[in-house]
Every structure is written in C-alpha cells, then in structure tokens.
A and B are shown apart, each in its own frame.
Chain A
C-alpha cells in the first residue's frame, strides 16, 4: 500500500480484557517496529522485527505484551489482561534497508 496502516484506529476495552492491534507495513519493507506513545511523551520503543523474527523485543514492558509477524508482512501486537496504564497510542512503523522509518497513524487504546 501507499503507507503504513493500522487497525483499529481506536480501541476501548475494559481492564483485564485481551486486545489485538494490527499493522500493515508498506509492501516490501522488511523491518517493522512497534512504539507506544503515552500522553505528553515521545514514542517509546517496544519491539523490532526483521522479516518474521523479533530482532529486538527489549522494549516490551512485561510478559502481557507479545507481538508476531508470521509471514514477514502484517504484524499483530497482543496485550493480555489489559491494565489502565496500557492506555496509549500504539504506533507501527516500517522501513526498508538503510531508510528512515515510515510511521502509521496509530491505534489509540483506552483501557477503562
């Protein structure tokens, strides 16, 4: 596609529920990144995929967070047992070798 797309654009859930956030990167981009942006903060790195594998998942805050990219294209960020502190905008970005990241519009997650 022309850009990185993310679905849903907004997600409201209750504390304790499970959510999945989807990212469709730019076609041909091998690198995919997830970031989280809390109110008043800059984006915070979560995880980086090169192809199908997670090359760096050091930013995932705890084991409730997990991400997959099974075919090296679309990625899903999964959050179990959501907490109010998980409320944020979740950003996805993709890039090709040596090129800057292109960011998607984000998914705004609200945990009530």
Chain B
C-alpha cells in the first residue's frame, strides 16, 4: 500500500523567510502528486499538482514543488512566505493504473509570524 510521509508537523517562520516542506511517498510505480492547503476555517484547496513532464511545478501564490523520482520526494517550496500563508499543508499521492484513491500525508501546520 502507498503511504505519504510529511516530516514536519509544525513549522513556524517569520515573514519573508524561505519555506521548504518535505514530502516522501512509498509507492514505486507511476504516481500523480499533489499539495493541498487548508487555510483556517476554509476547505481543502489544491495548491499544485504533478502529473508528468517538467518535475518542477509551479502553483498558486508563488508556491512550487519539485518531483525527484529517485528520492520518492515532492517537496514544497516558497522563497518568501507571507502571514497569509499560515495554513495546514497536505501532500498527497495517487497511483496510476485505474486507481482513484488519493493517499494524504498527516499534514504540516505552517505558522507565519508578522
């Protein structure tokens, strides 16, 4: 069974600091990868996705993630965080081959201090 590991459970940063959230998955086959964000009091929203092609994907609000197949990783980055980035971030993976089940990591709570 596939699994997703997010190494940081709670991250606190000052505004303008750079962000990198780690994500590793366990499945060895072809996958689709996602980062979702949940702002306080809001729904889960898609931040960015990787299906194929360029392993560096750019999402909304200046976020990007890099798929490194050899490391089974899909880390999320942002060069300069803002207070409005305070949220919980979930990495997720979906196996290809007719499966629609998306497996989520346990989430990372990001708190940005003004």
Contacts and interface: CB of A to CB of B under 8 A. Distances in A.
Interface in B42-68: 43-46, 49
Interface stretch (A38-46, A64-72, A77-85): A38-46
A41 B100 CA distance: 20
Contacts, number: 48
Interface of A: 3-4, 31, 33, 35, 40-45, 48, 50, 55-56, 58-59, 91, 93, 100-106
Interface residues of B, number: 19
A104 B43 contact: yes
Contact of A42 (B46, B49, B100, B107): B107
Nearest to B92: A42
A91 B44 contact: yes
Contact of B43 (A41, A56, A100, A105): A105
A3 B42 CA distance: 13
A90 to B, nearest CB: 13
| Most-contacted residue by chain A among B49, B90, B99, B101 (CB, 10 A) | B101
Contacts of A58: 101
Interface in B1-46: 4, 34, 36, 43-46
19 contacts: A31-B100, A33-B102, A40-B106, A40-B107, A41-B106, A41-B107, A42-B107, A43-B44, A43-B90, A43-B104, A45-B103, A48-B100, A55-B100, A56-B99, A56-B100, A91-B44, A103-B36, A103-B44, A106-B43
